[in-house]
Structure 1
Amino acid sequence: MHVSTLVLAALTSALAAAAPAAQHTKRACTVTFPTNTATIHLAKNPAVNIPQDLAFTVPNGAGGPCSLVATFPAGYPIASSGQTQVNVFDVDGPAAGAIVGTVTFASSAAGPTFVTINSFACRPSMRYRLELAGTQGAVDFAEGAGAGVAVTYNC
C-alpha cells in the first residue's frame, strides 16, 4: 500500500506540472490607420505604375509586435480589376526596400475580413509602399473608419 501511495503522489505531481497555465483572455488591439491618406488607389499597366506610400504613427512604448493588417467589415466596397495582388515594401525600417508581404484586398459578404500582412518591432514612425505585383491591374477603396490597411499593437 505504501508503494501505491508513492506512485499516486508522483503521478499527481507530474500531472500538475504538465497542466496548462491559467488561461488569459486576449486583449483588444489598439488600431491605427495611416496618417497620410483617405483612399487607397493603386494602378499598373505597361505605361503607368501608381504605387502608394502609407505612414503610421505609433506611440513610444507601444506593446509589440506591431502588425500591418488589412481589415474590412462585411460587404465593404473594394473596386478592383486585372491582377490585384499587392506587394508591400518596407520604406524606412530595418529592411528598407524589401518586400515584407503580399496581400489581395477583398471583403466578404458573410462577415468581417482580417488579414495579417506581417509583424514588426514597433517604431514611432512606420512607412510602407503598396504596389501592384502584376503587369496590369487596379485596386481602389476608401481608407479609415475601421476599414483598410492599419497597424495593430498592444495586443
Structure 2
Amino acid sequence: MQYFTVAAAIMSTALFASAAPTSTPLERRACSVAYPQSIGFPINYDIHQDAGKTNVRDDFISFTNIPAGSYGCQLEVNFPAGYTIESSGNSKVNIFTEYGANKGSLFGTVEFASSPVAPTKYIINSATCESVMTYRMSIASDCDAGRVAFADTKDAGLTMTYNC
C-alpha cells in the first residue's frame, strides 16, 4: 500500500510539472540609432594635415538626440559596399572625447574604409550615454601628411547606437 501511495505521489508531481506553463523564448532587442547633429545630410567630413602636423583640419561630430535614461552608447561606422572614401598618406584618424569628465581623451582610432563587395561595420568604442556626446576627429600621425574625406548620410558613416 505504501508503494502505491509513493508511486501515485511521484506520478502526480510529474504530471503537474509537465503541465506547467513554459516560458517564451527571448527575442533579440533592436538597438536604437542616433545620427549626428546637422542641418541636413550629407555631412561632408574632410580631415587632413600636412607633414609636420601643419595645416591641420579636424572635424567634429556631435550627437544631441539620445534620450535621457539611455544605456550602452556605442560609436559605430557603417558603409555600404563600394562606398566612396577619399584617402591619402597616413589616413588613420584618432577620435577624441569632447564632453564630460574625459574631455580631450583618446576614444578610439579608426581607418575609414569600405569593402568593394560587402557592407563594412566597425565599432570605435562605447561609453555611458550622455545628453550631448561630441567627438573630435584628427589625423593620428604626429609627423606624416594624411587625409580622409567622405560624406556622412543616413545610410553611411558614423552613428551612435544605444539601448541594445
TM-score (norm 1): 0.80
CA change 1:48–1:110 in 2 (3 A) is same
Q: Matches of 1:24 and 1:96 in 2, distance apart?
A: 38
Alpha-carbon distance, 1:27 to partner: 2.0
Alpha-carbon distance, 1:26 to partner: 2.9
- What is the one-letter code of the residue matched to 1:44? Q
Stretches of structure 1 that go unaligned for 5 or more consecutive residues are 1-21
1:50 corresponds to 2:57: yes
CA change 1:23–1:87 in 2 (3 A) is farther
Map 1:57-136; keep pairs closer than 5 Å. 57=64, 58-62=66-70, 64-134=71-141, 135-136=144-145
Stretches of structure 2 that go unaligned for 5 or more consecutive residues are 1-23
Which secondary structure does the structure 1 equivalent of 2:37 belong to?
A: coil
The aligned counterpart of 1:17 is none
Residues 52-105 of structure 1, C-alpha deviations (whole Å, 9 max, x = no match): 11110211122x210011111111111111101100100013311010110000
- What is the one-letter code of the residue matched to 1:61? G
TM-score (norm 2): 0.76
Q: Matches of 1:146 and 1:106 in 2, distance apart?
A: 15
CA change 1:125–1:82 in 2 (3 A) is same
CA RMSD for the aligned pairs?
1.8
Residues 8-37 of structure 1, C-alpha deviations (whole Å, 9 max, x = no match): xxxxxxxxxxxxxx8634322211221037
Aligned length: 134
Q: Matches of 2:38 and 2:55 in 1, distance apart?
A: 22
Return the match for 1:40 from 40, 45, 54.
45
Q: Matches of 2:107 and 2:30 in 1, distance apart?
A: 25
Q: Matches of 2:76 and 2:55 in 1, distance apart?
A: 27
Return the match for 1:140 from 121, 125, 149.
149
Query: Larger Rg: 1 or 2?
Result: 2
- What is the one-letter code of the residue matched to 2:159? A
CA change 1:120–1:23 in 2 (3 A) is farther
